[in-house]
Structure 1
Amino acid sequence: MAVTVLLEFKLKAEALAEARELMGRELQTTRAFDGNLATDVIVDEDDPTHWIIYERWESVEHDEAYRSFRAGEGRIAALPALLAVPPVKTRYLDTDI
């Protein structure tokens, strides 16, 4: 069953240009990762430092494999320095409602 993951980022204002460049590159890897159905970035119209990365995965297992990759060999080492606060991840399961 497909799942949706929202990653909420609050970036440092002075890091916006660098964050756009970094995530533009890194999200190519995310989009190509096995089981990724979609990955989009939405930005708060009133606060350009507030981003949500919207991801759709074929299954919880695909999402978990991706998280393991990003925690290990696919770690984005430059990202923490660009963040104002730690990111928040929320996973949502599809329902039959």
Structure 2
Amino acid sequence: MTCHVIFETTVKDGNLDGLRKWFTEKLPGTRGFAGNVSVEVVHNQDDPSKILFLEKWDSRQSFERYLAWRVETGAVDELGTMLDGEIDFRYYDALGV
């Protein structure tokens, strides 16, 4: 069963364009990582500084391996400099309905 990983965050003022560029550079590595099914990054229509990550992985363990790699390479710290607040990952299973 796939694992859905979701987190919502706020982009610091003046960082939206830099964040978009960062995603353009980094998301191919996410999409190509073993176990990734899909990743989508969207922003709120009423408040574009609100960003939502919607990721699907073949398992939570695959995501955790991916996250460890991103921590080791410094990508998580880079991302954190552009965000206002902590990253709080939430993990979901499909109900199958």
Scaled by the length of structure 2, what TM-score is found? 0.89
Displacement over 3 Å in runs of 4+: none
> Identity over the aligned pairs, expressed in percent?
27
Q: Any residues of structure 2 matched to 1:57-76 within 5 Å, and which? A: 57-73=57-73, 75-76=75-76
Equivalent residues in 2 for 1:13-32, closer than 5 Å: 13-32=13-32
Contact kept in structure 2, 1:11 and 1:84, CA below 8 Å: yes
C-alpha distance after superposition, 1:24-43 (max 9, x if no partner): 21111111100100001111
1:81 aligns with 2:81: yes
Which ranges of structure 2 fall in alignment gaps of 5 or more residues?
Answer: none
Query: Partner residue of 2:44?
Result: 44
What's the counterpart of residue 34 of structure 1?
34
**Alpha-carbon distance in 1 for matches of 2:85, 2:74:** 21
What is the CA RMSD across the aligned residues, in angstroms? 1.5
Maintained 8 Å contact 1:10/1:87:
no
- Of 87-96 and 31-40, deviating more is 87-96
Count of residue pairs brought into register by the alignment: 97
SS at 1:55 equivalent: strand
Structure showing the higher strand proportion among its residues:
1
Cα drift, residue 85 of structure 1: 1.2
**1:66 & 1:78 partners in 2: Cα distance?**
16
Using the size of structure 1 for normalisation, the TM-score is: 0.89
Partner of 1:7: 7
